[in-house]
Amino acid sequence: MSLAAATSDPAAASQPPLVEISDLTVHFRTPTRQVHAVNGVDLSLERGEVLTILGESGSGKSVTLRTLMRLLPERRSQISGRVSVDGQDVLAMSQRQLTRFRGRTASMIFQEPMLAFDPVYTIGEQIAETVCRHEGVSRREGLARALELFELVRIPSAQRRLANYPHELSGGMSQRAMIALALSCRPKLLLADEPTTALDATVQIQILLLLRDLQRELGMSVIFVTHDMGVANEISDRIAVMYAGRIVESGRVEELIGAPQHPYTQGLMASRASGAQRGQRLEAIPGAPPDLAELPQGCAFAPRCPQASDECLAAVPAARGLSDIHWAACCRLPA
């Protein structure tokens, strides 16, 4: 397979990170209110690394991913901060530069694979189209690449499947096809927005394993978004926990799952069904995430936090380092 490694592992350490996000904020203007979807996020991703952004629905995970590809509606969104991918300043790109960047340097797989394909073109055509667009090859060469990709993502009777329309594929098959599409131009960065959430449990595991194998085989960097801690544990090198548009804790999987420090992360752990002992009551985090149009002062988790005190409401808690990589933003932790 000729798709191997856009990057190679050994050199990774000396290279600058593939993705650097600093102080990113994203606000949406609606006629009546201003939604503060992302509020000062700092993130970086090493080459060949898999980072999971973990959080409840509505915490700003998808918005963060879309900002990395500038996919948000320009007229309604206000973005500030810095986003750099592979040395390119994403927020400063022209439309022309963007079309060359998307699908080639970075590509994305979506939560609902069935909805992510154009229903009136065959799957093969839609993959070939991407290859033609970025590599200037003929339609036939594009289709030949699509066939290779289908074999790579282990779609049975690949040749026949290429001629299928999206509605003729099952959910799991569409997600494989979506992965094939995303990998078609050997991207350095793969963004996966809850790629298994819409699938059946058994299919979920297959897709997860496929993604992990492909990531290792191709040496890609991946940002994976999920609200499922089990999935995060399965696939990531590092986890960043997001709450109300901020990263509240971040660290290596072992550190974060083994010894979560932020009360929100601890709550997430406790509410996991598989983490609960037999006969033990499942402890979900009481309450709901805050309204992003009216964020509370200070720590956004305070209304739900069992350890909240007046100190928490004074200012947004700063990050406290717990190891070289592990940190959490909670004022209960030693500074």
Partner 1 sequence: MPIYFLKRVLYVIPIALAVSFFCFSLVHLSPGDPMDAVVSPDAPSEVVAMVQRAYGFDRPLPEQYGRWVLRAVQGDLGLSAANGRAVTAEVFSALKNTLLLAFAASLIGFTLGCVFGTLAGYFQGSLLDRLVTGIAVGGVSVPHYWLGMLLVIIFSVELNWLPSSGAGPGSSSDWNVEWAYLRHLILPAVTLSVIPMGVVTRTVRAMVADILAHEFVEALRAKGLAERQVFRHVVKNVAPTALAVMGLQLGYLLGGSILVETVFSWPGTGLLLNNAIFQRDLPILQGTILVLALFFVMLNLIVDLAQARLDPRIQRG
User: Which residues contribute to the site for partner 1 (CB under 8 A)?
Assistant: 69, 71, 95, 99-104, 107-108, 110, 112, 115-122, 129-130, 133-134, 165, 167, 181-182, 185
Instruction: Report the partner that residue 115 touches, choosing among ligand SF4, partner 1, ligand ADP, none (CB closer than 5 to 8 A by kind).
Output: partner 1
Q: In this complex, which beta carbon is closest to partner 1, that of residue 101 or of residue 264?
A: 101
Element (H, E) at 20: strand 19-29
Alpha carbon 312 to its chain centroid, in Å, reads: 29
Binding residues among 49-88 for ligand ADP as defined by CB under 6 A: 55, 57-63, 73, 76
Please name the residue that has the structure tokens 């492909």: 214
Chain residues in the site for ligand SF4 (CB under 6 A): 262-263, 299, 301-302, 305, 307-308, 312, 317, 330-332
Choice from 24, 85, 235, 292 touching ligand ADP (CB under 6 A) = 292
- In angstroms, the CA 175 to CA 182 distance is 10
Give the number of C-alpha atoms closer than 13 A to the C-alpha of residue 25, restricted to the C-beta side. Answer: 9
Q: Which of 62, 122, 126, 265 binds Mg ion (CB under 5 A)?
A: 62
Which among partner 1, Mg ion, ligand SF4, none contacts residue 312 (Cβ within 5 to 8 A by kind)?
ligand SF4
By the rule CB under 6 A, 28 interacts with ligand ADP: yes
Query: d(Cα 108, Cα 184) in Å, to the nearest integer?
Result: 11
Query: Could you give the strand order of the β-sheet that contains 77-85, starting from the edge strand earlier in sequence?
Result: 34-45, 19-29, 77-85, 88-89
Residue from 19, 24, 37, 178 touching ligand ADP (CB under 6 A): that is 37
Could you give the CA distance from residue 204 to residue 195 in angstroms, rounded to a whole number? Answer: 8
Tokens of 150: 């289908």
Dist CA 209 CA 107 (whole Å)? 19
* Nearest CB to ligand SF4, comparing residues 207 and 331: 331
**Which residue of the chain is nearest ligand ADP when measured via CB?**
62
Q: How far lies 73's CA from each of 32, 70, 281, in Å?
A: 17, 8, 43
Nearest to 41 by CA among 270, 249, 335, 221: 249
**Residue 245 β-bridge partners:** none
**Is residue 43 at the binding interface for ligand ADP, with CB under 6 A as the rule?**
no
Closest to ligand SF4 by CB, 26 vs 299, is 299
Figure out which of the listed residues 35, 85, 123, 173 binds ligand ADP, where binding follows CB under 6 A.
35
Question: Residue 35 CB, nearest distance to ligand ADP (Å)?
Answer: 5
If contact means CB under 5 to 8 A according to the sort of partner, which of ligand ADP, ligand SF4, Mg ion, none does residue 113 touch? Answer: none
Report whether 316 contacts 299 (CB < 8 A). yes
**Interaction of residue 24 with ligand ADP, rule CB under 6 A:** no
Copy the structure tokens of residue 88: 């390119």
Q: Which is nearer to Mg ion, 131 or 211 (CB)?
A: 211
By C-beta, is 154 or 167 nearer to partner 1? 167
Other C-beta atoms lying within 10 Å of the C-beta of residue 304? 17
How far is Cα 41 from Cα 242, in angstroms, rounded to an integer? 9
Give the interface with Mg ion as residue ranges (CB under 5 A).
Answer: 62
Give the interface with ligand ADP as residue ranges (CB under 6 A).
Answer: 28, 30, 35, 37, 55, 57-63, 73, 76, 292
